Amino acid sequence: MRKQILPVAACLLPALAAAQQRYNIVYIMTDDHTAQMLSAYDTRNVKTPNLDRIAADGVKFTRSFVANSLSGPSRACMLTGKHSHKNGFTNNEHGIFDGSQQTMPKLLQKAGYQTSIIGKWHLHSTPTGFDHWDVLPGQGDYYNPDFINEKGRYRVQGYLTNIVTDKAIKWLDEQRDKSKPFALFVHHKACHRNWLPELKYLHEYEDTTFPLPANFYDNYEGRQAAGATTMEVGKDLILDYDCKIYDPNRTRRINQGYMNMIGRLDSKDRAVYDFFHDSLTVDFYRQNLSGRALTEYKFQRYMRDYAKVLKSLDDNVGRLLDHLKEQGLLDNTLVVYTSDQGFYMGEHGWFDKRFMYEESFSTPLLMRLPKGFKTRGDINQMVQNIDYAPTFLELAGTPIPPDIQGVSLLPLLKGEKPKKWRKSLYYHFYEYPAEHSVKRHYGVRTERYKLIHFYNDIDSWELYDLKEDPQEMNNLYGKPGTERLTRNLKKELLRLQEQYDDSIRFRRQ
């Protein structure tokens, strides 16, 4: 027997040596985590010490954007390096990701990588291109969640953010082929609606009063599509489902979806959950709130629950970083932290995302670089989630197929200052009619300006000067003096639609 093993081991040795020189990738993607709630970007609301560690030891992209601000589409852009119209997954509600197409994980496999994805998938088809996958059905559950793997669906006891990290660590330690470089995709549900906290953090942030954004009471003047949504904190956050306020005597009907979510807790945990929320509820009814006071009450509940969910997330990112370090993997690994899109934390009076406005068009992007990469601090070039695939492929030393639409960020990570970096970004959102009623739109963003066209059942243009009006309150479209700027931006928009081969285009008048 021995005689047989030795030659095999011997012929594996060169492969092993080669593998050791190749960089690993740990890609952590959270859900709906926005830069306003990440202290490396914004210190007003919360502290995220572990996420900040990634930025402190590595780089922070200050102009990082998505191509289509929604979960499934963002995931498809990340996997393919292509805009939605090219990868075919344009919206959550009607899409099934075509897993037979070229994807970055498949290309990494071909290049000799082990690939694994754990957590939120949300692309409806069975994952392809992964040696190991253990994903959530649909949006997944925070409490005692179900997972799906090759063997089927099963339930795990515990809090989802902890479980996803446990599974990632287990795969790193016990399940992967250690002779190969790896790409591990850790996809959290946190901080997705309806923000159910880990029970140990129920009391966290209860003494915090979060500041209202300056444009919380936006009246949407001059912005037809913004006025047509159903994503207002005051009107559209649901008292029981979102704010967890329900009649303590249980005489009122409670949202069934919410009951199913907390119904997953075992009786001991459910008692802890109910004890906390019953007292909140009693206090809420005692105050007898209405009008702006009620709206602001909902805002505080929203911010607190989001921040609690984020606290577990930050803990777990820290735990994974520590583990990589302990295992001696950190030096040879690119760690990426991002979200599937940004989110409104009361800006324009909203929660949710979808719009090409800055809060949801942008997404946090932090990277801890492998040893040898000397770049640190802020990277200010405009980047987009279609860039991740070519970045990982180049890092893996494998060719970037010509049909990939993103560009590799590797030159930026190496500290180069490419002269020909992109000067504008393209965006296209499709999911309408749908939840939250955000109209279909596409647009272009340059360093300073943004032009958006809302189409389908409206025909409405918006133009912003991001330097003068970073909150995008003053639609300049059609205003005297903006004719030349508008003409140039339309030209650039059309150029991008042609470059990316998007068949839904506007016609130049």
Interacting residues with ligand SGN (CB under 6 A): 31-32, 70-71, 92, 122, 192-194, 340, 352, 435-436
Q: How far is the CB of 68 from ligand SGN (least distance, A)?
A: 10
- Minimum Å distance from CB 257 to ligand SGN? 7
| Residue 470: CB minimum distance to ligand SGN, A | 24
Residue number with CB closer to ligand SGN (57 or 435): 435
Bridge partners (DSSP) listed for residue 442: 428, 453
Nearer to Ca ion, 313 or 400 (CB): 313
Nearer to ligand SGN, 146 or 322 (CB): 146
CA distance 416 to 468: 30
Residue 92 touches which of ligand SGN, Ca ion, none (Cβ within 5-8 Å per kind): ligand SGN
Contact 59, 367 (CB under 8 A): yes
Contact (CB, 8 A) for 145 and 160:
yes
List of residues 6+ apart from 97 with CB closer than 8 A: 72, 75, 76, 79, 87, 88, 89, 123, 124, 125
Name which of Ca ion, ligand SGN, none residue 450 binds, using a CB cut-off of 5 to 8 Å depending on partner kind: none
Instruction: Closer to Ca ion by CB, 71 or 384: give it.
Output: 71
Is cis: bond before 390, omega within 30 of 0? no
d(CA 431, CA 8) in angstroms, rounded, equals 53
Dist. CA 443–CA 492, nearest whole Å: 10
Q: How many CB atoms lie within 10 A of CB 236?
A: 18
Q: Least distance (Å) from Ca ion to the CB of residue 388?
A: 16
CA 260 – CA 264 distance, rounded (Å): 7
Indicate which of Ca ion, ligand SGN, none lies near residue 497 (CB less than 5 to 8 Å, by partner kind): none
- Residues whose CB is less than 8 angstroms from the CB of residue 496 and which lie 6 or more positions away in sequence, other chains included: 424, 426, 444
Quick one: how many helices (H) and strands (E) in the chain? 15, 16
Q: Round to whole Å and give the CA distance between 106 and 258.
A: 38
For ligand SGN, the closer CB: 261 or 494: 261
Q: Which residue is nearest to ligand SGN (CB)?
A: 71
Choose between 31 and 218: whose C-beta lies nearer to Ca ion: 31
Binding site for Ca ion (CB under 5 A): 31-32, 71, 340
Amino acid at 471: Q
Residues 186 and 168 sit within 8 Å (Cβ to Cβ) = yes
- Compare residues 339 and 381 and give the one whose CB is closer to ligand SGN: 339
Question: Which partner, ligand SGN, Ca ion, none, binds residue 193 by CB below 5 to 8 Å per kind?
Answer: ligand SGN
Nearest-approach distance from CB 73 to ligand SGN, in angstroms: 8
User: Least distance (Å) from ligand SGN to the CB of residue 92?
Assistant: 5
The token pair that represents 306 in the structure block: 């989001």
By a kind-dependent CB cut-off of 5 to 8 A, residue 245 interacts, out of Ca ion, ligand SGN, none, with none
Q: Which of the choices Ca ion, ligand SGN, none does residue 189 contact, using the CB cut-off of 5 to 8 A by kind?
A: none
Q: Minimum Å distance from CB 302 to Ca ion?
A: 16
With CB under 5 to 8 Å by kind, the binding choice for 194 among Ca ion, ligand SGN, none is ligand SGN
Dist. CA 1–CA 90, nearest whole Å: 55
